[in-house]
Amino acid sequence: MHGASLAPCPAHLKARETTRAPVAFRMDGKFGPSYAKRMSDQDRILPGIMLMLGFCTIAPLIDVASKLAAQGVPVGTVTLGRYVAQMLLMLPIVALMGQPFGMTRRALWLTFARAAVSIAATYTFVAAIQHMPIADALAIAFVEPFIILLIGYFFMGEEVGPRRIGASVVGFMGVLCVIQPSFARFGAVALYPLGSAISFALYILLTRALSRHMHPIPMQLHTAWAAVVLMLPVLALGGTFEIGQFQLVPPTGIFWLWCFCVGLAATVSHMSMSYALKFAPSSTLAPLHYFEILTATLFGYLVFGDFPNALTWVGIAIITSSGLYLIHRERLAAKARKAPLPDAPLGP
């Protein structure tokens, strides 16, 4: 998974966000009302759309580089390499932007929790595409918005109407269309993207909580170093007891490049997503996220010769349609929450 999502936000989380005054963002990382005034007079939608399309084009390269790297080194090493490269790339960016490196204790705990679920999402997805076509695994992982919706409904007291519940059920049926041929061919590996989707759903919820304490750019740096801290002892134990893919094996030859490209593509795509969301609202960008399935299919075919079969395309169509309908219903719900209440009738 790619560490970025435009999944519908639960209403109670949106309510918390809207109680705070809007903060203007500058490209140098500074905040200020003068910049907000200048940007409010400009058309920011088109740059946001272009950046989002850039994300959808670059993000599948994370998977391409991961699949290439996993052919020569354990999945655990590929996962660690992603965060090491991301940390090294983000460090000068955060320094040049003048962002603070410190954080509160609560932000620190949230950062480590975010790093932990990010590791789980990345590891399970890389383990999946080590054997599966990228497009198949990504289509299954796109069930993540439905998982977030159900988490909000069952665990956070979010009011979710029957239509959105129905869309989620239909979306899961689409996932089954993708899993069925993949399970027959690859076995239990076909279930790994589901684990990645669940982990990534938790990652998104933690990101929303952490965003109240930290700018999104240094958030990427802190998540990267926290992931490195968490992974090193796990891989050391895996190497000691020779636990399959949980080992740190230094890459050789071209595999150094592939491991670095995982972190490079992740960093560039995350920066693109962060700035896209500063130029355009998530409600505008969310439908474009499904363009990533097409670019992932293209790269998978060009690099590995993989192309989804007919049943997989049916599943992709169902997942995409359900996701777009979910976005549509979320927009309607957001408008309803913002609509003024009617005046109370006067008494006799």
The secondary structure of 266-324 as a DSSP string is: HHHHHHHHHHHHHHS-HHHHGGGGGHHHHHHHHHHHHHH-----HHHHHHHHHHHHHHH
Q: Take residue 61 and report the two structure tokens written for it.
A: 């390269």
pLDDT in tens, 216-253: 889 999 999 999 999 999 999 988 888 788 888 899 99
Supply angle C-alpha 49, 53, 55, rounded to 5.
115
pLDDT on residue 333: 73
* CA 289/CA 203 separation, integer angstroms: 17
pLDDT on residue 205: 87
In a domain, 343, yes or no: no
pLDDT on residue 227: 97
In a domain, 256, yes or no: yes
In a domain, 20, yes or no: no
Supply angle C-alpha 38, 39, 41, rounded to 5.
75
In a domain, 307, yes or no: yes
pLDDT on residue 19: 31
Whether the model pTM is above 0.85: no
Q: What is the DSSP string of 193-218?
A: HHHHHHHHHHHHHHHHHHTTTS-HHH
Q: Take residue 104 and report the two structure tokens written for it.
A: 């509160």
Q: Take residue 122 and report the two structure tokens written for it.
A: 């990345």
Domain count for the chain? 1
In a domain, 214, yes or no: yes
**pLDDT (tens digit, 0 to 9) for every residue of the chain, 348 residues total?**
565 555 544 433 333 333 333 333 343 444 444 444 444 434 578 888 899 899 999 999 999 999 999 999 999 999 999 999 999 999 999 999 888 888 999 999 999 999 999 999 999 999 999 999 999 999 999 888 888 888 877 877 777 778 888 888 888 888 888 887 788 888 889 899 999 999 988 998 898 889 888 888 899 999 999 999 999 999 999 888 887 888 888 999 999 999 999 999 999 998 898 888 788 877 778 788 889 999 999 999 999 999 988 988 999 999 899 888 888 877 777 777 666 645 444 444
Provide the domain limits for residue 235: 52-337
In a domain, 185, yes or no: yes
In a domain, 30, yes or no: no
Helical spans, DSSP H, in the chain: 11-18, 33-40, 45-69, 75-97, 105-129, 134-141, 144-155, 162-186, 192-210, 216-240, 254-279, 282-285, 291-304, 310-338
Cβ atoms of 131 and 71 closer than 8 Å: no
Supply angle C-alpha 197, 323, 47, rounded to 5.
95
pLDDT on residue 257: 96
pLDDT on residue 127: 95
* CA 132/CA 126 separation, integer angstroms: 10
In a domain, 1, yes or no: no
pLDDT in tens, 47-88: 888 998 999 999 999 999 999 999 999 999 999 999 999 999
Cβ atoms of 57 and 295 closer than 8 Å: yes
pLDDT on residue 6: 58
* CA 276/CA 187 separation, integer angstroms: 38
Element holding 249 (H helix, E strand): none
pLDDT on residue 344: 40
pLDDT on residue 162: 82
User: Could you give the C-alpha distances from 15 to 10, 19, 20, 215, 340, in angstroms and in order?
Assistant: 9, 6, 9, 20, 15
pLDDT on residue 339: 62
